[in-house]
Amino acid sequence: MMEEIIESAVYLKEKTGFTPKTGIVLGSGLGSLIDEIDIKHRIPYREIPNFESSTVEGHAGRLIFGILGGKQMVAMQGRFHYYEGYPMQKVTFPVRVMRLLGVETLFVSNAAGGLNPEYKVGDLMIIRDHINMFPENPLRGPNLEDLGTRFPEMSQTYCPELIERAKEIAIKHDIRFQTGVYIGSPGPTLETPAEYKMFRILGADATGMSTVPEVITARHAGMKVFGVSVITNLSEPSETDKPTTHEEVQNVAGAAASKMRVIFKELVLDL
Ligand code: HPA
């Protein structure tokens, strides 16, 4: 496993000459965030040794290397979802490669269903904590000692300083935001009303099918993490709301991406 991670990192390093300190994972419909980046290299996943190729609609499936705020960075346009059938080691593989490339801070984004009754469609939720409902932990198996410890500490998984700074940026730009707990479940079904209710009772504010595996792996490898969910649908829609479709999720996410761009960009400038 470690050899594969090194092989991928060496390939990317030789191809780009980059040593990015910041990495971004772009979620469903949020790919337009890369418009902020002065792109130097676009590398399809299928060209990178040991990478899978992403399949879900709306996910381009490539690594972007570029400059944001004068700094080198790498972005995943499209991620690997557990529901696509990939083993956890493949879902989290790119995060580990990013670490070897030099990434110290990981920004993650996703589309999520709102569980908190205060939330509205199109809201941004700064992730303050998560609950792992995947049937598996990505760190299960032999520990990669070169990356991190066997029993990673998870008390401050989402960097408190970055959360505070993000709130200031949102307020400055008059961007409506929430701060809450993300619960990650395997999908690919959306939740039944009873399941949404259960997630709320468990203490979550939003739910989605990604992010938790990548964040666990990033923390294992000692990276700082900042995450944002775009609320694309609500667990208790009003009478007139139609059932959630993948298309609807993509459209709402696209519209909210511009707000997220502002926050991510200013945070990166601060790093
Ligand atoms: N549930 C799970 N994943 C999601 C949802 C949802 O309601 N909305 C967007 N991704």
Ligand 1 and 111: CB distance under 6 A = yes
| Structural domain of 131 | 2-270
**188-243 pLDDT, tens digit each:** 999 999 999 999 999 999 999 999 999 999 999 999 999 999 998 999 876 556 65
Q: Whose CA is nearest to atom 6 of ligand 1?
A: 113
Kindly tell me if the per-residue pLDDT of 157 is higher than 80: yes
29 pocket-lining for ligand 1 (C-beta < 6 Å) = no
Amino acid, single-letter form, for residue 33: L
Percent of the chain's residues with pLDDT above 70:
94
Residues taking part in catalysis: 28, 59, 81, 83-84, 111, 209-210, 233, 246
CA distance linking residue 59 with residue 40, whole number of Å = 20
DSSP 3-state helix, strand, coil percentages of the chain (rounded to 5)?
35, 25, 40
- Residue-wise pLDDT for 111-147, tens only, equals 999 999 999 988 999 999 999 999 999 999 999 999 9
Report CA(180)–ligand 1 centroid distance (Å). Answer: 15
- Which pLDDT belongs to residue 221? 97
Output the CA–CA distances (angstroms, integers) from residue 258 to 29, 119, 141, 268, in the order listed.
11, 19, 39, 16
Q: In this model, does residue 49 exceed pLDDT 60?
A: yes
The residue-averaged pLDDT of 165-174 equals 94
Whichever domain contains 24, its CATH number is 3.40.50.1580
Residue 209 beta carbon below 6 angstroms from any ligand 1 atom: yes
Domain count, the chain: 1
pTM of the entire predicted model: 0.92
End-to-end CA distance of the chain: 31
